[in-house]
Amino acid sequence: MANNYPIGVFDSGVGGLTVVKELIRQLPSENIIYFGDTARVPYGIKSKETVIRFSIENILFLLKQNVKLICVACNTVSSVALPAIKNHFRVPIVGVLAPAAREAVYATQNKRIGVIGTPSTIKSRSYESQINELDSEIKVFSAATPLFVPLVEEGWVDTDVTREVAREYLGPLTNKNVDTLILGCTHYPLLREVIQGVLGKKVNLIDSAKQVAIEVKRMLACEDLLNDSAKKPRHKFYVSDNPEWFTNLAGRFLGHSVKDVSRAEVG
């Protein structure tokens, strides 16, 4: 395995680009290959067995691209599938759940943490289990916030409708006196200001995208696999359906437009 091999990233759709953005920011020399399973999105309403099957197929696709590490940029996969698939592959695999949970445990002062995510992520109680493994005294309060995803994809990140939905979803958490909130979906960082506005500035927001990028950097350094090439890094994007839709949304997540988007078959 060579240092200039790319980092592989996959998600059920476009949300994992928030992870790619952080990887580019923290690891500017790394080549990255992204796969968005846009033909089968959303994963959040699929059964555990289906999510596991899709994830294996996505990993096999990335392995064909000679990736040196795979980042699972999907909270649903990290919550319900990662424990079942991680030991089946020799390539290092990093999910978004554990790094975010560790940072939340470190950040909380009153041991009251909130988690928001898709119904599957919340139903799995994976964040709660991970947090309580680290500190059994912490109270975890979870809320499913499924409408946040389509609002982000529509570009409604700063509208009255979005703020009203946020107040409806987050109201119960404000009554729980949480001082830390995990943004348990890679779409949610785009709603950071709206969420912060509802909860108040004293609540720490934990961005899973930022934390997983830190974890990827640490793992590559430990394995002596950081790219030290002076060549300009290449960022390649694949989707399983509708490259045009993905391309139009990608700029919103990355902060710049993308051109190198190809359609790929998986499964």
- Catalytic residue numbers, as ranges: 74, 185
- 263: which strand partners? 239
Helices 208-222 and 97-107 pack at an angle, to 10 degrees, of 110
Q: Please check whether residue 173 is in contact with residue 181, taking contact to mean a CB–CB distance below 8 angstroms.
A: yes
Q: Residue written as tokens 């958490």?
A: 173
Secondary structure element (H or E) that encloses residue 163, with its range: helix 160-174
Secondary structure element (H or E) that encloses residue 127, with its range: helix 126-134
Phi and psi of 229, rounded to 5°? Answer: -75, 145
- 139: which strand partners? 112
Q: Please check whether residue 108 is in contact with residue 180, taking contact to mean a CB–CB distance below 8 angstroms.
A: yes
Query: Between β-strands 7-11 and 32-36, what pairing exists: parallel, antiparallel or unpaired?
Result: parallel
Q: Give the DSSP letter string of 89-121.
A: -SS-EEESHHHHHHHHHHH-SSSEEEEEE-HHH
- 141: which strand partners? 114
CA angle 131, 200, 133 (to 5 degrees): 5
Cα–Cα distance, 246 to 237 (Å, whole number): 9
Would you tell me how many other CB atoms lie within 10 Å of the CB of residue 7? Answer: 27
